[in-house]
Amino acid sequence: MNKTLVHTSIIDRLQADLLIARDALKASHEAATHAESKAENKYDTRGLEAAYLADGQRRRLHEIEQALSSYRNFPVRTPDPESIKLGALVVLETAGERRWVFLGPDAAGLQLLVEGAQVLVISPRSPLGQALLGRSAGEEVDVQVGDRRQRYEVVAVY
């Protein structure tokens, strides 16, 4: 799989998400400041709820902008066969099923379809990201999430 294509796909997806988030922020801000959102009595919370929604949309927009900046400034690196580092594209196998993950600086949880394969973006802050750092192909990693333990084999690193 082409790692440059994965990197470009992440940026494209974040740019699309940014446009959607901007529209959502604009709509929620308009709702919060609209005359109909003014409280009619002390129990009317429409305006307050709209303001909370607008604040959440503002924070989401900021997160997407930060992630987009991280990826625009993040170089696509050649793979290090010795160990998994930030920027690695990794093939994992668990219970006979293969998964592609990209260890990125941000945008954890983003799922992409690249060259017909699902790629999950993870960060070094996630349990799986932490477990993968420093590992190499052929090694196994155990990840504890809640009360569940999952074992992965590192099949390949790109």
From first to last of its 158 residues, what are the pLDDT tens digits of the chain? 899 999 999 999 999 999 999 999 898 888 777 777 666 677 767 777 878 888 899 999 999 999 999 999 999 888 777 789 999 999 999 989 999 999 999 999 999 999 999 999 999 999 999 999 999 999 999 998 889 999 999 999 99
Looking at domain 88-157, which CATH architecture does it have?
Roll (3.10)
Question: CA 119, 125, 129 angle in degrees (round to 5)?
Answer: 45
List the one residue out of 12, 132, 158, 24 whose CA is nearest residue 71.
12
Identity of the amino acid at 89 = L
Q: Where do the structural domains in the chain lie, given as residue ranges?
A: 3-73, 88-157
Is 142 within 8 Å of 151 (Cβ atoms)?
A: yes
For residue 110, CA distances in Å to 5, 8, 14, 90, 147 come to 15, 13, 9, 15, 24
Specify the 3-state DSSP secondary structure of 21.
helix
Looking at domain 3-73, which CATH architecture does it have?
Orthogonal Bundle (1.10)
pLDDT of 27 reads: 87
pLDDT of 39 reads: 66
pLDDT of 37 reads: 62
